Amino acid sequence: MRIGIVNDMPMAIEGMRRVVLSCGEHEVAWVARDGREAVAQCADDCPDLILMDLIMPVMDGVEATRQIMQATPCPILVVTASVNHNSAMVFEAMGAGALDAVNTPMLGMGGESEGRDLLLRKIRMIGVLNRTSRSAAAAPRIRKRPQAADPSTQGCLLTIGSSSGGPQALAEILARLPADFPAPVVLVQHVDEQFVAGLADWLDRQSVLKVRLAREGDRPEAGTVLLAGSNNHLILKNNGKLAYTPEPLQTPYRPSVDVFWHSLVTGWQGDIVAILLTGMGRDGAQGMLELRHKGACTIAQDEASSAVYGMPKAAKELHAALEILPLETIPVLVMSKFPVRIRREAQ
């Protein structure tokens, strides 16, 4: 891949340059030392991937990501000194369309680059996503399990899948749901488990509902938003409890929206509203089609409001979405499907 590097620190630039060139599979397309320069460079020569710092003079990485994704969209990986310390900016950049984030590799005393392997894994995975997003092949079908009979799965469920651009879109939807929203909410966002806890905390601050990571053995319950919290896939088991599984190993999307939604087809007995938001690739489209066949209300974000129109577009192409809506309209439809009722136990 041809890779652009955006960073204002010479040592960081040299560390990333060495990592990019170390495996013999990639080349450095160009180097920009602030966000404005990156926007200009990308307009002249759009690379296969941009390694984007966050804190820079002139224009920061969040605004640069936003402008690049609007003018000359290409995959962007946030590479910053500390993902955890800059988590708010990381989620903002991901809301603008960045795919993932990783700490900046640093040169060691002997010239080796600490963090090299992790950065190369991220680059390799984005290369796989690039190839997958260009393919029209449907996601592999997951073998269905026997019908569940657990009574806790017979109510209503809201589930949302998202990827690049997703954090901000999720925040906008959750901010519109009231404290007495009468259904469980389960989210699957493509995000590395290293900072998924930070994403849960950030989303919790945007919503009056409690947002936390889904734990092994949890049951979805009204008033709580559960976020898939592992690089393994979240599933709903026959007994109505959530679990994590490494299978299928071959999917590049981790955690996968498709895998979770496949598990709902036989695992959830009540009504389902499934929403597929902005994201690169095709994850969620096949699962949404199966949910539609089950009778679920299926909604895909429209192109104009999507930071990356990959996943919703795939759902549209499969005729999996009953509704194609701008982001700001989606909560209105959700509330019409889940009318808030005064709970007798609260009186």
- Of 222, 195, 198, which is closest to residue 210 (Cα–Cα)? 222
DSSP state, 279? Answer: B
Least confident of 82-96, 210-224, 250-264, 292-306: 82-96
**131 against 217, higher pLDDT:** 217
User: Among the three residues 102, 134, 166, which one is the final residue of a domain in this structure?
Assistant: 134
Of 53, 218, 283, 302, the active-site residue reads: 283
Q: What is the pLDDT of residue 132?
A: 59
The set of residues, in sequence order, having a beta carbon less than 8 Å from that of 107 and lying 6+ positions away, is 11, 14, 15, 18, 113, 114
pLDDT, tens only, 292-314: 999 999 999 999 999 999 999 99
Give yes or no: residues 241 and 289 share one domain: yes
Tokens of 256: 């996968």
Q: Which two tokens stand for residue 6?
A: 């955006």
User: Are 322 and 251 found together in one domain?
Assistant: yes
Query: Which among 134, 169, 187 is the end of a domain?
Result: 134
Tell me if 98 is assigned to some domain.
Answer: yes
CA atoms within 13 A on the CB side of 183: 25
Which residue matches tokens 């609007």? Answer: 70
Which pLDDT tens digit goes with each residue over 155-188?
Answer: 899 999 999 999 999 999 999 999 999 999 999 9
Host domain of residue 342: 151-346
Task: Point out the catalytic residue in the list 162, 163, 207, 305.
Answer: 163
Q: How far is CA 342 from CA 175, 179, 185, 260, in A?
A: 20, 11, 18, 30
pLDDT, position 252: 81
Q: Give 347's pLDDT tier (boundaries 50, 70, 90).
A: very low
In the block, tokens 């104009």 appear at: 304
User: What integer pLDDT is reported at residue 211 of this predicted model?
Assistant: 97
- Does 171 lie in the same domain as 128? no
Decide if 219 contacts 240 (C-beta within 8 A): yes
Does 37 map to a domain?
yes
pLDDT of residue 254: 87
Q: Among this protein's residues, is 85 annotated catalytic?
A: no
Q: Are 214 and 187 in contact (CB under 8 A)?
A: no
Q: Phi first, then psi: what are they for 206, rounded to 5°?
A: -90, -10
Is residue 283 in some structural domain?
yes
| 8 a catalytic residue | no
Q: Is 293 one of the annotated active-site residues of the chain? A: no
Instruction: Determine the pLDDT at residue 143.
Output: 41
Q: CA 110, CA 241: separation in Å to the nearest integer?
A: 50
**What is the pLDDT, as a whole number, of residue 41?**
97
- Residue for token pair 């984030």: 101
Residue among 190, 218, 233, 262 flagged as catalytic = 190
Domain harbouring 45, CATH code? 3.40.50.2300
pLDDT score, position 114: 59
* Number of domains, the chain: 2
Whether 59 maps to a domain, the answer reads yes
Question: Treating both helix axes as pointing N-terminal to C-terminal, what angle do 87-96 and 166-174 enclose, rounded to 10 degrees?
Answer: 100
Residue 144 in any domain: the answer is no
pTM value is 0.85
- Start-to-end Cα distance in the chain: 61
What's the rounded mean pLDDT across residues 10-21?
92
Per-residue pLDDT reduced to its tens digit, 83-113: 778 888 998 999 899 988 888 887 654 445 5
